[in-house]
Amino acid sequence: MVSRDIYEIFTSFQGEGSLLGRRQIFIRFRGCPLECFYCDTRAARMKDPSLPPARPEKVIETVKELITPDLHSVSFTGGEPLASPDLLRELAERCRGLGLSCYLETAGVDARIFQKLIDLFDYAAIDVKLENHRAVETRGAWKKLYQEEIECIRTSAASGLHTIVKVVIPDDTTSSQIESLCREISDYRIDLILQPLTGIKAPSLELLFDLSATAGRYLGKQVMVIPQIHRLYQDGLGKKMR
C-alpha cells in the first residue's frame, strides 16, 4: 500500500531521546517544509501527488497487525506530521480508541496547529532547530521558526505531556545558543536532549561537556546527552507502506 501522505509504517525501537529503546509502531508522514543539513529521512520530505491519499482504515489495520506485548506507544513522525493535521488527528484519535499511547515527533513548525492537536498525545518530542542547522534560508525565517518551536514546548509542558526537547549538536554549536534556548524553557518540566551529530561535523566530547553544563545551570538533572542509536537496529521489523 502506498500513499501521498504516509511514507511507511513499521515497528522498531525508539532510537532517540529519553524514551530510548522503547518498542513503538512508527507512522512516518511525508512532507516537511524544512531543509536541515543533517536530515536522515530525506526520502520522506516531499509528498507525492501522483499517489492516492492515505486511507485511515488501512493505516489502522497495519497498526493492529504490528501490536506486540512490549509496545510502548505509536510514534507519529516524519517528515513533519503537523504538515498533515487532518490526517494526523484522525489517526491519533483511532489509535487512542484502541487504547494505545500516542507519541508526536515534530519540529514544532506551527504552534497553532500543535495547540489544536495536543490533547490527542501523551508524549511530545519537539526538535528545536538552531540557526546553524540551516533548516530555513534566512535569519528572519529561522527566528520565526524558533519562536513557533518555543511556543510548542510551552504548550506541551503546560498541558502536562511528557515533553522531550531535542537539539542536534554539530561541532559549531555554541554555549550561547544553548543558554538562550534554556532561558526560554527553564520554567517548564521537560527533558532536554543534546543529540551529538555523527559524521564529519561531530562535536568533541569537551564541547558536549561544556554544553551540558551550560544547560544544567537552567535545567539541572533534566539535561541528557544521547546520540542516535536506531542505526544500530535493523530496518524495522514489520510491515511497511511504500
For helices 85-97 and 56-66, angle between their N-to-C axes, nearest 10 degrees: 40
Q: Which residues are annotated as a binding site for S-adenosyl-L-methionine?
A: 38-40, 79
Residue ranges of the binding site:
13-15, 28, 32, 36, 38-41, 77, 79
d(CA 35, CA 176): 23
Side chain identity, residue 87: L
Take residue 242 and report the three cell numbers written for it: 511504500
Instruction: Please give the annotated binding residues for Mg(2+), written as ranges.
Output: 41
Q: Which residues are annotated as a binding site for substrate?
A: 13-15, 28, 77
Give the closest residue to 151 by CA, choosing from 120, 121, 106, 195. Answer: 106
What 3-state class would DSSP assign to 88? Answer: helix
Annotated binding site for [4Fe-4S] cluster: 32, 36, 39
Question: CA nearest 33: which of 115, 148, 164, 120?
Answer: 148
- Answer for the pair 21, 230: CB distance below 8 angstroms, yes or no: no
* Residue 225 phi, psi (nearest 5): -110, 115
| Cα dihedral 12, 189, 31, 141 in deg (nearest 10) | -150
